[in-house]
């Protein structure tokens, strides 16, 4: 019975992933259609602007990142949960993604760019952009070093989930940091079609990457829950 319930939950997680990605593809279709017809309805343009901080796709991204952190914290504070990963690791990981959801909604990384604007020790792109990538990169390295034992343990105990998570992180970072890097070095923003295409690729990678990350966290939570049910 437990194995059957476990499989059903795994299937449900897969359905959630497919629903998320289909929603993101719908955002892309609406955005490109609106662009192609010259933004005929301004309300649709505002609601589905992939390059806006106050649109439905942005809200969607905020919720996804928050859920990754929230589910991780639920596992961390469950009385039955056992390592790996450690409770400390789960809390740091969960809070980290909740912070990213706040950043997505309030553009904290842009404020960080302004804070380090005149700091000669921090490299930046042309026009003083991209400083946040360096700052966040350093923070990510420090957190990785702090959690290295947890990361190794998770890779051993949850190898499939860890692989899916790594894939999601690569996709997400390619859109977030990679997309911005390409924008400042290679994209001609004066060409509307080229810029629209860049926005679509960058935002879809971020959204779909977050979906894969959420899927991997769901799988780990389900797997840990199934194991606990078998041992209690």
Report pLDDT digits (tens) over 34-78. 999 999 988 899 999 998 888 999 999 999 999 999 999 999 998
Q: Residue 75's pLDDT is what?
A: 92
Model-wide pTM > 0.85: yes
Separation in Å, CA 191 to CA 19, 27, 180, 196, 202: 33, 22, 17, 9, 16
Angle at alpha carbon of residue 38, lines to 36 and 42, rounded to 5° = 120
Q: Please compute the mean of the pLDDT values over residues 198-226 and round it to a whole number.
A: 93
Shortest CA distance to 203 belongs to which of 169, 179, 223?
179
pLDDT reported for residue 1: 47
The length of the chain is 232
Is the pLDDT at 144 greater than 90? The verdict is yes
Over range 147-158, report the average pLDDT.
95
Average pLDDT over residues 20-33: 97
Tell me the average pLDDT of the chain.
Answer: 86
- Greater confidence (92 vs 80) lies with 92
Contacts of 218 (CB under 8 A, 6+ apart): 13, 16, 71
Burial class (CB in 10 A: 0-12, 13-18, 19+), 48: buried
State residue 106's pLDDT score.
Answer: 85
Answer whether residue 126 shows pLDDT above 70: no
What mean pLDDT do residues 169-185 have? Answer: 78
Asked if residue 98 has pLDDT above 70, the reply is: yes
Residue 126: both structure tokens together: 């042309």
Above 90 in pLDDT, residue 132? Answer: no
Instruction: Say what the pLDDT of residue 154 is.
Output: 95
The answer on pLDDT for 146 being more than 50 is: yes
Answer yes or no: is pLDDT of 160 > 50: yes
């Amino acid at each position: 019975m437990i194995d059957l319930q476990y499989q059903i939950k795994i299937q449900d997680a897969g359905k959630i992933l497919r629903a998320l990605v289909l929603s993101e593809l719908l955002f892309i279709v609406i955005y490109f259609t609106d662009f192609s017809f010259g933004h005929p309805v301004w309300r649709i343009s505002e609601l589905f602007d992939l390059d806006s901080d106050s649109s439905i796709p942005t809200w969607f991204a905020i919720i996804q990142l928050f859920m990754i952190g929230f589910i991780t914290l639920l596992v961390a504070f469950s009385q039955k949960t056992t390592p790996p990963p450690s409770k400390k690791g789960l809390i740091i990981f969960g809070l980290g993604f909740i912070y990213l959801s706040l950043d997505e909604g309030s553009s904290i990384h842009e404020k960080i760019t302004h804070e380090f604007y005149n700091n000669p020790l921090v490299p930046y792109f042309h026009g003083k952009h991209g400083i946040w990538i360096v700052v966040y990169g350093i923070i990510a390295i420090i957190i990785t070093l702090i959690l290295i034992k947890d990361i190794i343990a998770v890779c051993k105990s949850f190898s499939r989930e860890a692989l899916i998570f790594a894939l999601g992180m690569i996709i997400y970072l390619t859109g977030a940091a990679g997309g911005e890097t390409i924008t400042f070095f290679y994209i001609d923003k004066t060409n509307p079609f080229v810029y629209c295409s860049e926005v679509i690729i960058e935002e879809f990678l971020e959204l779909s990457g977050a979906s894969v990350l959420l899927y991997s966290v769901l799988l780990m939570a389900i797997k840990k829950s199934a194991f606990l049910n078998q041992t209690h």
